[in-house]
A and B are shown apart, each in its own frame.
Chain A
Amino acid sequence: MKYIYDLHRTMQRNHIILVYEGEFNQDITKSVLAMAERNMDAYGEDNNVKRKVFNVMVECLQNICKHAENYDKNSNAKNNAVFMIGKQDMEYFITSGNAIPNSAVPEMRKRLDRVNSLDKEGLKALYKDIIKNGSLSDKGGAGLGFVDMARKSGNKLYYDFEPINQELSFFSLKTVISRDTSKD
């Protein structure tokens, strides 16, 4: 039973305030959002910070719902993934991890690198270009999630791809949102 204590200590040490592991869908998304909102309300978090955290969370959670693959052979779930929110003195961090097909990795890497290479004005231009000229994918995504996460957070998106097997890679993503409301 010691793993429970270990897990709790690990969460405390890494300032993790919420973890969800398992299948993701719209109902789970709503529940996770409601928990995070209640947590931020309880601490009297600044409205602007709250809105930005909410915003990044939605894009992150809906990305998982749309794109995550199931890689647990013992489960029939549509997908399985992990989602975490951490809170430190100066920032929130929102992290997710899920399996995606290896074939999708190069294109995602390209899109993330492009987003990370742009400044505020560049991101705005990219956003307007995609919203005007793009169309919704068959999964209902606008192709704007990463751009929006970078714009709202004002920070780079940290990411990693870890090979799982011949078909799948584990995609980890971390977005940092400053709690310092004195700067833009």
Chain B
Amino acid sequence: MNVLSLEGTEDTPRIILDKANNIFEISGRSLPEDSAEFFQPVLDWLDEYQKQANPETNFVFKLEYFNTASSKLILDILSKLEDIKGCSVTWYFHEDDEDMEEAGEEFSELVDVPFTFKTY
């Protein structure tokens, strides 16, 4: 499967989706002008991956900031992960960033995927 790799910018996150190396990570800042358009390749990639998923998939979110339009797309990504067997989420937040911790907790309550919380 193709690797989906995007360098982060000041308004878009860094994304690595790499089946062969079992790395699935979104990190940085997310406030794109058009969040639906920006995240569509991620959703498409996951649709493809779901058909031939690794036995275990740990999806890492390490976000410094995301806007409300991105939050909707993050939920769409998490909903896709629900359909992948053996999938889990690791939600990183900066140790003094309560809002990011709470955001992760809220996502974990909205989808049926096990979350682990870690600080950085």
- A residues with a Cβ closer than 8 A to B are 26, 29-30, 34, 47-48, 51-52, 54-55, 58-59, 62, 65, 124, 127-128, 131-132, 134-136, 140-142, 144-145, 147-148, 152
Contact = CB atoms under 8 A, between A and B. Distances in A.
Nearest to B72: A142
Contact of B69 (A30, A127, A136): A136
Given A51-B99, A124-B106, A131 B10 contact: no
Interface in B1-39: 10-11, 31, 33-36
A136 B72 contact: yes
B48 interface: no
B90 interface: no
Most buried by B among A30, A58, A145: A58
B106 A148 contact: no
Interface of B: 10-11, 31, 33-36, 65, 67-69, 71-72, 75, 94, 96-99, 106, 109-110
Nearest to B68: A144
B71 to A, nearest CB: 6
B98 A132 contact: no
Interface SS of chain B: helix
Nearest to B64: A51
B108 to A, nearest CB: 12
A136 B32 CA distance: 14
Contacts of B69: 62, 136, 140-142, 144
A55 B99 contact: yes
- Could you say which of B31, B35, B99 has the most chain A C-beta atoms within 10 Å of its C-beta? B31
Given A52-B99, A141-B69, A62 B110 contact: no
A172 to B, nearest CB: 21
